Amino acid sequence: MSDSSASKGSSAPKDAATKGMTIHLKIWRQAGRQAQGRFVDYTVHGIQQEMSLLEMLDILNEDLIRKGDEAIEFDSDCREGICGTCGLVVSGVAHGKHAGTTTCEIRMRQYQDGDTITVEPFRAGPFPIIKDLVVDREAFDRIQRKGGFISTNVGSAPDGNAVLVPKDCADNAMDAATCIGCGACVAACPNASASLFVSAKISQFAWLPQGAPERGRRALAMIAQMDSEGFGDCSNHGECEAVCPKQISIQNIAKMRREYIKAAWVGADKVRSSGGD
């Protein structure tokens, strides 16, 4: 027997559950990079607790399209907390108030009927707004291209035990490698620093012997690119770690700084040994 044909005596709470919640939204709308943006108020009805925040935005867009209005632009891809494409600032917090989650993992059971939610894009100078909630995070790609890789001869895979890696080093490298490059660290930092992202990409190789041959060049090149993109410096607020969906530790920033200092000193020694200034 379906729920709709159940006893009428218990129909009231089931009808309320079927009706869903009414949620009020304040969403940032901006037509383009140079356009003036503003918050626009919306109200969405029939929101079920098991829905995600992005599914609620889908419903809102369907309503807007039916009315002949322009849909709200926002990014998403996997919707499983894997890729980080969905990054938004939800009620003032990058990826929302729950630690270790991406925007697409926010469930509406966290909210009550009649709640107001503010949704805006990641805000930072190096992340220009393309439209509405979509930002250009290509600055991260340019930093990655400066050294976020290992140069090696291709061929058949080596034996798994050919290069021995201590367990703690392997664990540290894997922890750093979980960074998905979503940009929440930049959005949360009062300085718009990308230090957590860059340090994770540097550390994941610095902990491994495979990354040793290029470790100095990698640190110098990636940090130089980070600075040229206009990201701010780290001042140890710790906001980046607090909002990171993969909970990357700011200990990686200390590791990055050590790598940079060592590489800079080695470079200076080479210049002095060659007779330069």
Residue type, 178: T
Q: How far apart are CA 123 and CA 125, in angstroms?
A: 7
> pLDDT tens digits, residue range 211-251?
999 999 999 999 999 999 999 999 999 999 999 999 999 99
Residue 85 has pLDDT above 50, yes or no: yes
pLDDT category at 162 given cuts 50, 70, 90 is confident
Q: Which residues of 137-162 are buried (b: 16+ CB within 10 A; e: fewer)?
A: bebbeebbebbbeeeeeeeeeeeeee
The DSSP 8-state label assigned to residue 45 in this structure reads: E
Q: What are phi and psi of 150, to 5 degrees?
A: -120, 125
> pLDDT tens digits, residue range 108-127?
999 999 999 999 999 999 99
Q: How far apart are CA 210 and CA 160, in angstroms?
A: 13
Instruction: Give the model's pLDDT for residue 243.
Output: 97
> pLDDT tens digits, residue range 30-48?
999 999 999 999 999 999 9
Residue 12 has pLDDT above 70, yes or no: no
SS3 call for 196: helix
- Domain spans of the chain? 3-130, 137-150+160-273
The reported pTM is: 0.87
Domain 3-130 matching CATH 3.10.20.30: the answer reads yes
Which residues are paired to 47 by β-bridges? Answer: 21
> What is the CATH architecture assignment of 137-150+160-273?
Orthogonal Bundle (1.10)
Cβ proximity of 179 and 248 under 8 Å: yes
